Amino acid sequence: MEPIQDFSSLVSRLRALKERKRVVVVCPNDPHTEYVIIRSLREGFADFLLVADTPHLLNAEYIRQQYPDHVKVFEASSPDVAAQEGVLLVREGHADVLMKGIINTDNLLRAVLNKEHGLLPKGNVLSHITVAQIPTYNKLLFFSDAAVIPSPTLAHLDAMIRYNVDVCRRMGIESPRVALIHCTEKVNEKFPFTLDYVTLKERAEAGEYGPMFLDGPMDAKTACDSHSGEVKGISSPVVGHADMVIFPNIIAANTFYKTLSLFGDANMAGMLQGTTAPVVVPSRADSGNSKFYSLAFACVCSDTKK
């Protein structure tokens, strides 16, 4: 499989599948979410299960009338009930991806994380992956965690790497290059996460993550710019060529996200991982385009369950 190197190829890949992906949307009644649903229906890669709370049922019905063979509508008495019903549809095997509409993220996550009726298997880490399409980088760049885990422990970092390596392979990157981010190349016990990095490198070298390259600590520029590596006299399969960067705290990852978006002219997509199906949780400030590509990204990375 050729690697997917830009967002438009996400859609081509989905259109080449034999079966459409099945997407549950909780509270689909805001302009951006409706745009994402209609655009996906036009592209023809997804069927939708729209769970709307009663006052907003008509918006969902209007979409169903346009695409009656590919949209089902479910009524819920409140947004919280809509979240529970959406999660149940995934649990019962009726859908491959869960997407947030206008419901508050915390309310959706309450249903997703419910210990008895949710989507996170016991012991799994919930984390977020972003994929960035940057005009001045020659491939897609994946990173974690800009949204969920404040200060990842070794177990969190290990889980992120496993999830993200799996995502890379689904995107056609057989041996992803993973950079562990710090502000220097020095391992230093004053920054305990750099000691975790040493452990993660040992695990990678022992083959625990399958075919891949992992290196760090290094800074974000060294990870993505081979000239920086040359100046510093360091080289590895990762330096200058990262497919994925892992940050030691959420502020750094979020700053990377926001800076790429605002000053790097990048397009971003993202989803939650660790759940039995990808969960798409766009932010208020995301563009309609970004929300659409987030859904396409989640669809490419989902299993089709029956």
**In Å, how far are 96, 215, 302 from 210, measured between CA atoms?**
25, 15, 20
247 binds a second copy (CB under 8 A): yes
Options 204, 266, 279, 298; binder of a second copy; rule CB under 8 A: 266
For residue 297, which of 277, 276, 269 has the smallest C-alpha distance? 269
Neighbours of 264 (CB within 10 A): 16
Stretch that binds a second copy, among 1-9, 48-56, 132-140, 272-280 (CB under 8 A): 132-140
* Dist CA 176 CA 142 (whole Å): 10
Q: Is 260 one of the binding residues for a second copy (CB under 8 A)?
A: yes
The reply to whether 216 sits near a second copy by the rule CB under 8 A is no
Q: Does 7 bind a second copy (CB under 8 A)?
A: no
- Torsion angle (degrees, nearest 10) of CA 261, 264, 220, 231: 180
- Residue 213 sits in the site that holds a second copy (CB under 8 A): no
Q: What are the residues whose beta carbons fall under 8 Å from the beta carbon of 47, sequence distance 6 or more?
A: 20, 21, 22, 23, 70, 71, 72
**Please, which residue, 155 or 231, has the CB nearer to a second copy?**
231
CB neighbour list of residue 163: distance below 8 Å, 6 or more residues apart: 127, 129, 144, 273, 274
- Interface residue with a second copy among 38, 57, 81, 134 (CB under 8 A) is 134
Q: Which one-letter amino acid corresponds to residue 256?
A: F
Residue 254 lies near a second copy (rule: CB under 8 A): yes
Contacting a second copy within 165-184 (CB under 8 A): 181-183
Residue 47: CB minimum distance to a second copy, A: 30
Residue 137 is a binding residue for a second copy (CB under 8 A): yes
- Rule CB under 8 A: choose which of 8, 54, 231, 303 binds a second copy: 231
Cβ at position 226, least distance to a second copy in Å: 11
Figure out which of the listed residues 150, 189, 207, 306 binds a second copy, where binding follows CB under 8 A. Answer: 150
The residue length of the chain stands at: 306
- The rounded distance, in Å, linking the Cα atoms of 113 and 221 is 35
Nearest to 246 by CA among 174, 171, 149: 149
Does residue 84 touch a second copy according to CB under 8 A? no
Which residues form the interface with a second copy (CB under 8 A)? 134, 136-137, 146-147, 150, 181-183, 190-191, 219-222, 224-225, 228, 231-232, 247-252, 254-256, 258-266, 284-285
